[in-house]
Amino acid sequence: MNKDHPEVKFGKTGVLLINLGTPDSTSWWDIRKYLKEFLSDRRVIEVNPFIWQIILNLFILTFRPSKTAHAYKQIWRKESNESPLLFFTRNQADKLKSKIGNEKVIVDFAMRYGNPSIKSKLDKLKEEGCENIVILPLYPQYAGATTATVCDEVYRSLMKMRWQPSLQIIPHYESETLYINALINSIEKKIKEINWKPDLIISSYHGIPKSYFDKGDPYQCYCQKTSRLVKEKFSKVEIQTTFQSRFGPQEWLTPYTDKTLESLPGKGVKNLLVICPGFASDCVETLEEINIQGRESFLKNGGVNFDLIPCLNDNSDHIELFKKLVSKYI
C-alpha cells in the first residue's frame, strides 16, 4: 500500500443491539430532553406534526417530566447511576461478545432515543473496520413504533457515510424456540421461588393505538403468537394477554393491563404473576408501572399475592438466543 494512503481498517463484522432508550439522569431537564426526542418521533405519534408539536411543547413537556422523573427515581440504579435498561443492555452486549468469542466480531449496543445514539455507535463500528453490520432491535414483536423507527435511524446514519458497510437487520423473533423456552424457564423459576400458587399469569405487552393495528401494523398478531406458543408448552397455570402503557385519549389495544389488574380480585383471582415478554430488559415500564403501580392496584382491590417475573435481561438463555439470531450473519 502507498505509504501516503490513510490507514483503513477492514475485515470485521459488527453486531449492534438496539433498545428503546433512557434518560441520562433523573433530573427534570434530562427527562424532558429524552421525552422530547421520543415523543417527536412520527412513528410513535401519528398525528398532524404541527398540531402535535404545539401540544408537546406547551403542555406535555411542561408537566410530564416531573411525573416521569418520579417513576425513574423509584427504579434508578443508584450504585452505578444509570437506568436498569442501560445496565442490562450493556451487560447483554458484553456477554454476547464473550459468547461469540471471535475477535473479528465486534459487539456493541445503542439506544434509539438518548445515549449512546445509533449514529455514534455505527460510526464507531465503521471506524473499527466493520464491513458488515448486523442490527438486532431488542423488540421480539415487530411494530412500526419500535423496530421500524430503529431501522429509520440506522438508514439515516448510513446516508451520511461515504463508504457504507453491508447491513443485515433482524426484524422480529417472537416465535423463536429459544425465546419461547426462555420465557417458560423464567416462569418456572419464579414459581419455584414463591411460596404460594398463582391463580393466573398476566402476559403484559406494551400497547399501541388500535388505529395503528387497523392500518396494518402486525404487532398485536406477534404478541398473541408469542402468548399462544408459551401456552402450548406451559399449561400449569392459565395465561391471559393484556396491553399496558397507553398514552393519550385514543383507544389502544385491549384488554388494558391496568384495568385488568384492578378487576381480577373481584373475579376471584387473588394470587397473580405478571410477565412482560415484549421487553428485553427490565425498565420503567416493568419495574415501576407493573411492579409498583400494578402491584398496588391489584392488592388495593383485594388481591393477596403479586409478583413480577423478571425480564430475560442478561440471563444465559437470553444471550444464547441472541447468539443464534446473529450467528447466520457473522
Pair (110, 157) in one structural domain: yes
Q: Judge whether 242 lies within some domain.
A: yes
C-alpha dist (Å) from residue 109 to 11, 27, 112, 172, 187: 20, 24, 10, 17, 27
Asked whether residue 122 falls in the same domain as residue 197, the answer is: no
In whole angstroms, give the CA distance from residue 242 to residue 45: 21
Say if residue 17 is in the same domain as residue 147: yes
| The pLDDT value given to residue 7 | 76
Q: Which domain holds residue 206?
A: 177-308
pLDDT in tens, the chain (330 residues): 566 767 778 899 999 999 999 999 999 999 999 999 999 999 999 999 999 999 999 999 999 999 999 999 999 999 999 999 999 999 999 999 999 999 999 999 999 999 999 999 999 999 999 999 999 999 999 999 999 999 999 999 999 999 999 999 999 999 999 999 999 999 999 999 999 999 999 999 999 999 999 999 999 999 999 999 999 999 999 999 999 999 989 999 999 999 999 999 999 999 999 999 999 999 999 999 999 999 999 999 999 999 999 999 999 999 999 999 999 999
pLDDT of residue 235: 97
184 lies in the same domain as 298: yes
Domain-located, residue 212: yes
Q: What local confidence, expressed as pLDDT, does residue 1 receive?
A: 53
pTM over 0.85: yes
Nearest by Cα to 83 from 48, 114, 38, 118: 114
Distances (CA, A) of 27 to 34, 67, 144, 200, 287: 11, 11, 29, 38, 19
- In whole angstroms, give the CA distance from residue 100 to residue 105: 8
Does 60 lie in the same domain as 34? yes
SS3 201: strand
**Does 5 fall in a domain?**
no
In a domain, 1, yes or no: no
Q: Are residues 107 and 157 in the same domain?
A: yes
Question: Residue 120's domain is classified under what CATH number?
Answer: 3.40.50.1400
Q: Are residues 299 and 220 in the same domain?
A: yes
- Indicate the pairing of strand 271-275 with strand 239-244: unpaired
Q: Domain count of the chain?
A: 2
- 190 is a domain residue: yes
**DSSP 3-state of 117:** strand
Q: How far is CA 214 from CA 151, 228, 253, in A?
A: 22, 22, 10
